[in-house]
Structure 1
Amino acid sequence: MIAKISALKPGKWFPVGALATSLLLLAGCSDDQPQQQQQMPPPAVSVITVTEQEVGNYQEFVARSEAIDAVDIRARVDGFLVKRNFTEGGLVEKGQLLYEIDRAPFEAALKGAKAQLASSEANLTNAQKNLERSRDLVKKGFISQADFDMQTSTEAQAVAGVEVSEASLETAKINLGYTRITAPFKGEIGKSTYSVGNLVGPTSQPLATLTSMDPIYVTFQVDERQLVSHLLDNSAAADNPEQAPIENKDQFKLSLTLPNGQEYNQPGTFRFADTRVDEGTGTLTLRASFPNPHGVILPGLYVTLQAESNTLKLSPMVPQAAVQQNQSGHFVLVVTAENTVATRQIELGRRMGAMWVVNKGLKAGELIIVQGLQKVRPGAKVSPNMVTVNPTTGTITPNQKQGN
């Protein structure tokens, strides 16, 4: 191009200066483009400052609900059902009449037992009078000792006869009482196996099943490793009075999550721990009870039991939006003092609303990224903007005053 420019005739007008200036500008643009790309501002990300909250030691268990009392209602005497006094699947009160068996045969048996007792008592009275007369006669020698012994034996047999009649009368009363079958406790009763008019008895199938509903048991298992660790901690605390007191059943808060994911609104209480570890599963069975006034928890439900100690400690909290996962586990992206991104592996604890408790890997005061995660990588520079996260809903809102 320079050769062509030098070949131009001096007499012909040409803007040589303008051409040179244009070439210089083109060369300058070509040199500045990479510099402008390198000077691009770092990406903006939304960050929060990690805060701490007092939480207790927390653990979740898969559990199953069980009725405290469940019995099969059975007939204890043979007879025809004449009445059923409940609604299947309904609630019955303690002592409520459930079934009635035909009473006529048992009332007749009771009358017969009463008559037999009266006869036995009359025989006893006669035997006692004869024995008293024989006692005077044997002293005077009017009867032999053998006759006196016979009268003594007759009186003893009459006493025994009265006792047998009394027992028969008591049995007749009991059998008559068995014709009225009542509820042994308050609960919900299931389907009736027999209808009115059926012949039932002690060998029949259960008439119905009665199940208590309030309160209700929740049974769960603790792994043997957790059990041993807990026992060792308690043992160390017992040997060292300066340590915290041993945790017992009253130092835990128990709560439930129902199968639909909803939190149950009644707290529970520890009731029972088995005395041996199951050899097949390596677990120890424990039991808690929960109020169930509205019958929400039916026996046999799979639920999630949460146990949290009343002893609280400060733990870092992070929003769910900030937590990611890789092959090494969960992690968050931390912004350093130099506004550089760093990966931080963490160990998560319980979930509280839209927040996670962090057991290990993070401390209060550190900055973590909650928005713009896809725009950055470890080691990159970022421009952090402070935001606020609602701990209940997880909603992210910019701060009124940005810390620029």
Structure 2
Amino acid sequence: MKSIITNRQRSLLPFGLLVASVLALSGCNQKQEERQMPPPAVSVISVPQEAVGSYKEYVARTEAVNTVELRARVEGFLTQREFIEGQTVEKDQLLFEIDPKPYIANLKKAQADLSSAKAELNKSKKDLQRSKDLYKKGHISQADLDTQTSQEAQAEASVQAAEAQLDTAKLNLGYTEIKAPFKGQIGRAKYSVGNLVAPSSEPLATLTSIDPIYVNFQVDEKQVISHLQESAGGSIPEEQQFEMRLRLPNGSDYNQSGIFNFADTHVDETTGTLTLRAEFPNPQGIIVPGLYVSLIMESKDKTEHPIIPQSAVQENQSGRFVLMVGADNSVETRQVELGRRIGPMWVVNTGLKAGEKIIVEGLQKVRPGVKVTPSIVTIDPETGGIKAQPQPGQQQSSQANKQG
């Protein structure tokens, strides 16, 4: 069957050939431009390594070592409040004063009663001595001597009672001053100056110690058994011990290390965990009781592992991977197995070696098999970002300042 070409189609043939020629030439030019484009520039790092120990992390809660409710031990009107709520007070600092006048009067009366009792005792002793002399001469009977002896004993008991009353009066007068039993932070005062308080009143305020601070956490019973088996009932060798650190609720690392303080005597039947406690110094009062924190335990026995920034890690169906640059500057994919995080850095368990080069900037411009122009940079381990490189002029200026 012969194709029928209309006059209109014949007139369009030259135009179609022209378009085809232009497209063919355009494709050739594009391929030529691609061949002539330089390799994309990327930033790479030489993978560093760091000594890392075995690592465990627990959810923990902080607790004050000492907490006390300050209460009135005698009745009276508050006359002083010598602190600012929420601030740190020192040991033995005066916090509250209850009107001491009634207790000063009681003290003076007790002193007077004691003096009177001692005078009566002194008289009774002299009377008893005279009675003994008269009894020997036969001037008084045995009953009279017994009566005098009893009176002397009663006078002695009266002195002891008066001394006890004096001690009580001194104690009560001392209780009019409520002092801090230890250094710590004091909370809100529940009574103002002028209020009547008594031993039955609510606590005047609460004092909480802040340095050191306890950190309580729970360990699974399997870990407890493993620990007991490893230690065989004795102490753990030094190389198997752990360093204790904290990560605070805002994600920052606490700058003080802790020590193991206490282990409970039994496993909780409902949770299957054993409660442990660590102690951390808290000189600046950064940690307050009741915080949820992360307790990090790392063994003192450490091995070298590669560490890389988290921004360099990608993930696909096969798992996590990084793009690395080989000896011929070609990009290749390397699957990695990652361990713990150290700030913005990730510990690599397997897949990379120290000194190998991975891409940290320009990942979106490359793919496996493409050649690149690598530029070596340095990662700031505190931020995980690339450290700024000083310009040549800045380097000269810095050196001149040092020489000057």
Same fold (TM over 0.5): yes
Does 2:61 align with 1:64? Answer: yes
Q: Which amino acid aligns with 1:323?
A: V
Does 2:297 align with 1:300? Answer: no
Aligned equivalent of 1:124, options 121, 141, 161: 121
Aligned equivalent of 1:309, options 299, 303, 325: 299
Q: Which amino acid aligns with 1:68?
A: V
Residue-by-residue CA offset, 1:126-159 (whole Å, 9 max, x unaligned): 2211221222232333322222222222211211
Off by >6 Å, runs of 4+ in structure 1: 236-239, 334-340, 374-377
Tell me, which stretches of 5 or more residues in structure 2 are unaligned?
1-20, 390-404
CA distance, structure 1, for counterparts of residue 66 and residue 346 of structure 2: 39
CA distance, structure 1, for counterparts of residue 315 and residue 233 of structure 2: 36
Aligned equivalent of 2:378, options 357, 377, 390: 390
Q: Counterpart of 2:224? A: 227
Kindly, what percent of the aligned residue pairs are identical? 52
Q: Which amino acid aligns with 1:214?
A: D
Question: What RMSD, in angstroms, separates the aligned Cα atoms of the two structures?
Answer: 3.7
CA distance, structure 1, for counterparts of residue 233 and residue 177 of structure 2: 59
CA shift at 1:195, angstroms? Answer: 1.3
CA shift at 1:107, angstroms? Answer: 1.5
**Cα distance change, pair 283–385 in 1 and its aligned pair in 2 (3 A):** farther
Q: Which amino acid aligns with 2:298?
A: E
Does 2:174 align with 1:177? Answer: yes
Aligned equivalent of 1:213, options 194, 207, 210: 210
CA shift at 1:166, angstroms? Answer: 0.3
Residue-by-residue CA offset, 1:195-243 (whole Å, 9 max, x unaligned): 112110100001111222333333333333333334433449979xxxx
Aligned equivalent of 1:167, options 148, 154, 164: 164
Aligned equivalent of 1:189, options 186, 191, 195: 186
Q: Counterpart of 2:11? A: none
Which aligned pairs between 1:360-399 and structure 2 lie closer than 5 A?
360-364=350-354, 370=360, 381-383=369-371, 386-392=374-380, 393-395=384-386
Aligned equivalent of 2:246, options 233, 247, 256: 256
**Cα distance change, pair 148–396 in 1 and its aligned pair in 2 (3 A):** closer
Q: Which amino acid aligns with 1:390?
A: T
**Cα distance change, pair 351–91 in 1 and its aligned pair in 2 (3 A):** closer
Residue-by-residue CA offset, 1:306-349 (whole Å, 9 max, x unaligned): 33333321112233233234577544457789968555251322
Aligned residues of 2:94 and 2:179 also touching (Cα < 8 A): yes
CA distance, structure 1, for counterparts of residue 111 and residue 92 of structure 2: 28
Q: Counterpart of 2:102? A: 105
Q: Which amino acid aligns with 2:182?
A: F
Tell me, which stretches of 5 or more residues in structure 1 are unaligned?
1-25, 399-404
Which aligned pairs between 1:317-356 and structure 2 lie closer than 5 A?
317-325=307-315, 330-332=320-322, 341=332, 344-352=335-343, 354-356=344-346
Aligned equivalent of 2:89, options 88, 92, 95: 92
CA shift at 1:255, angstroms? Answer: 3.2
Q: Counterpart of 1:115? A: 112
CA shift at 1:167, angstroms? Answer: 0.2
**Cα distance change, pair 52–233 in 1 and its aligned pair in 2 (3 A):** farther
Aligned residues of 2:324 and 2:358 also touching (Cα < 8 A): yes
Aligned residues of 1:238 and 1:246 also touching (Cα < 8 A): no
Q: Counterpart of 1:278? A: 268
Q: Which moved more, 1:175-184 or 1:341-350?
A: 341-350
Q: Which amino acid aligns with 1:258?
A: L
Aligned residues of 1:332 and 1:345 also touching (Cα < 8 A): yes
Aligned residues of 2:88 and 2:183 also touching (Cα < 8 A): yes
CA distance, structure 2, for counterparts of residue 164 and residue 113 of structure 1: 10
Does 2:287 align with 1:290? Answer: no
Residue-by-residue CA offset, 1:251-279 (whole Å, 9 max, x unaligned): 62x33333222333334343333333333
SS of the residue 1:383 aligns to: coil
Normalised by the size of structure 1, how large is the TM-score?
Answer: 0.74
CA distance, structure 1, for counterparts of residue 235 and residue 108 of structure 2: 69
